[in-house]
């Protein structure tokens, strides 16, 4: 079993990659991950999901974490353009 690392350390080791974490520790709000044990990492999310499966048997909790930032690829304007103000 590996060593538990902080999210800052994980982001430094695996920039812009998907990381499978074992025994993740969450903050008080239970929204953000604070630390975890890196089990598998790759730039390809599907690869982490499929090849990382064999590494999760010793862990009670696991999560998938992306160390980069997401770029907005879609515009959410379609439905708003179709609604007339008179319909409201």
pLDDT in tens, 48-65: 999 988 889 889 999 999
Instruction: Give a yes or no: residue 18 inside a domain.
Output: yes
**Average per-residue pLDDT in the chain?**
86
> 19-31: per-residue pLDDT in tens?
999 999 999 998 8
Instruction: Give a yes or no: residue 55 inside a domain.
Output: yes
Tell me if residue 15 falls in helix, strand or coil.
coil
pLDDT on residue 75: 62
Instruction: Give a yes or no: residue 88 inside a domain.
Output: no
Residue 71 pLDDT grade (very low, low, confident, very high; cuts 50, 70, 90): confident
pLDDT on residue 8: 95
Q: What are phi and psi of 53, to 5 degrees?
A: -55, -40
Instruction: Give a yes or no: residue 76 inside a domain.
Output: yes
Instruction: Give a yes or no: residue 78 inside a domain.
Output: yes
Host domain of residue 73: 5-83
Contacts of 9 (CB under 8 A, 6+ apart): none
pTM for this model (two decimals): 0.76
Instruction: Give a yes or no: residue 38 inside a domain.
Output: yes
- Provide the number of structural domains found in the chain: 1
Residues 81 and 31: their CA atoms lie apart, in Å, by: 33
């Amino acid at each position: 079993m590996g060593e538990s690392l902080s999210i800052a350390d994980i982001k430094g080791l695996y920039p812009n990659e998907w990381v499978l974490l074992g025994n993740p520790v969450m903050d008080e709000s239970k929204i953000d991950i604070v630390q975890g044990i890196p089990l598998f990492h790759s730039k390809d999310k599907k690869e982490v999901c499929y090849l990382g499966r064999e590494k999760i048997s010793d862990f009670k909790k696991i999560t998938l974490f992306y160390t980069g930032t997401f770029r907005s690829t879609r515009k959410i304007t379609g439905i708003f353009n179709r609604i007339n103000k008179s319909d409201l």
